[in-house]
Structure 1
Amino acid sequence: MLNEKRVIEILEESKVLLKGHFLLTSGRHSNEYMQCAQILQYPEFTEELAKGLAEEFKEDKIDMVIGPAMGGVIIAYEMARQLKVKNLFAERENGKMVLRRGFTIPEGTRVLIAEDVITTGGSVVEVAEVVREQGGEVVGVAVLVDRSNGAINFGTKLRAALTTEVKSYEAQECPLCKEGKIDLVKPGSRKIK
């Protein structure tokens, strides 16, 4: 099982938490950003976190793990490796999450969705729709970091290596925008004007 103290050590050592003014995937703004991709540079950390999360699902008869591209690709792969099941990923095409590259989910497949970080859970919801459209059954969601502090309900089992609350704001309510002192940054890109 995962120990919160150890998870925090891993996050600190891999420099996951960034401070500034960030545009999140959800469209919300925040003064903190969890750059979970930093963890994924370290196979030993990724394996340790995925192994702890996989323990939470070992009795759930998982047939397949799926993650949304990009953030969920590596963690989904490692979760599948730990659970010794098939792995695939969904990706956006024309703004909609879809299966490409010949991926399919057979009718009745028990699917675990894996993601690096959730704030509103939008990408997980989209992947769940893809799974159901294919005839699969979503039996759980595993995430490295749940930024909603456990507020999101996907209607299925949810486990996170770390559950925390990082404040975020609608763009029009963002105090950092109102102050105008710190440029808005979309992580992985340059500042936005």
Structure 2
Amino acid sequence: MSLQELAVQLFDAGAVRLGDIEAKIGRRTPVYFDLRVVVSHPRVMAAVAEHLQRLASEISHDLLCGVPYAALPFTAVMSVNTEVPMIMKRKETKLYATRKLIEGVYHKNQTCLIVEDVVTSGGSLLETVRTLRDEQLNVTHAVVVLDREQGGASVLKANGVELRSLFTLKNLIKILRDAGRITDDTVEIISDHIKVCQFGMKDNAD
């Protein structure tokens, strides 16, 4: 499946939602991406993982770590397909037994490649980066399905992480327009939103 075909399949599966939608922390957005629905579409999930694997093949790494929760299915498929071990960051520290924040087997100084679904401000991904680095793992790259082009890539770069994506938001909406899934007016609305709603380092401060 080509990237163009994948973009249309994601739209048809309901992973791309249009309208005046409330996003994180009360922010409004004309387009929202819910890649969690892809778990119900095995062919699409396999295609996403395959394209992410191609990006990952260009990056030296010992481990894979998906940002919880949407990226975990893609990461698991990538791990099985490539036989690269996967570790998982918990949303919260386990409060009993091992009390781990990272699940899986890993060793100091291994290089971990992060897998994410969507990057906007970069905050969620950066949180995972910090957790992995606290465990003395090397983190220099992340592969993502979509870069919304709203400042997240710059924030991550400032923290020593290079972002590589299957789609940028501008590229994705162009594909969907060319495929007749969205109108020129929708493209213009989303393009204006990208320009107006930009995030920087201050949005990811501790």
Task: Say yes or no: TM over 0.5.
Answer: yes
Equivalent residue number for residue 118 of structure 2: 117
In the alignment, the residues of structure 2 paired with residue 28 and residue 104 of structure 1 have an alpha-carbon distance, to the nearest angstrom, of 38
Q: Which runs of 5+ in 2 are unaligned?
A: 94-98, 171-189, 198-206
User: Is contact 1:80–1:86 with CA below 8 Å preserved after alignment?
Assistant: yes
Q: CA shift at 1:9, angstroms?
A: 1.8
In the alignment, the residues of structure 2 paired with residue 126 and residue 90 of structure 1 have an alpha-carbon distance, to the nearest angstrom, of 10
For CA contacts below 8 A with separation 6 or more, give which structure has more relative contact order: 1
User: Is contact 1:7–1:162 with CA below 8 Å preserved after alignment?
Assistant: no
Equivalent residue number for residue 165 of structure 2: 160
User: Is contact 1:90–1:100 with CA below 8 Å preserved after alignment?
Assistant: yes
Equivalent residue number for residue 181 of structure 1: none
In the alignment, the residues of structure 1 paired with residue 26 and residue 110 of structure 2 have an alpha-carbon distance, to the nearest angstrom, of 32
Equivalent residue number for residue 28 of structure 2: 29
Equivalent residue number for residue 85 of structure 1: 84
Q: CA shift at 1:139, angstroms?
A: 3.2
Equivalent residue number for residue 46 of structure 1: 45
Equivalent residue number for residue 16 of structure 1: 15
Q: CA shift at 1:91, angstroms?
A: 2.6
TM-score under structure 2 length normalisation: 0.69
User: Is contact 1:105–1:135 with CA below 8 Å preserved after alignment?
Assistant: no
- Mapped pair 1:144 → 2:145: yes
User: Is contact 1:112–1:141 with CA below 8 Å preserved after alignment?
Assistant: yes
Q: Secondary structure at the match of 2:90?
A: strand
Q: CA shift at 1:83, angstroms?
A: 2.8
Greater helix fraction, Structure 1 or Structure 2:
2
Q: Secondary structure at the match of 1:143?
A: strand
In the alignment, the residues of structure 1 paired with residue 39 and residue 169 of structure 2 have an alpha-carbon distance, to the nearest angstrom, of 19
Distance change >3 Å, CA 28–CA 106, structure 1 → 2: farther
Q: CA shift at 1:131, angstroms?
A: 1.0
Distance change >3 Å, CA 78–CA 139, structure 1 → 2: farther
TM-score under structure 1 length normalisation: 0.73
Q: CA shift at 1:40, angstroms?
A: 2.6
| RMSD value, Cα | 2.7
Equivalent residue number for residue 128 of structure 1: 129
Aligned residue pair count: 166
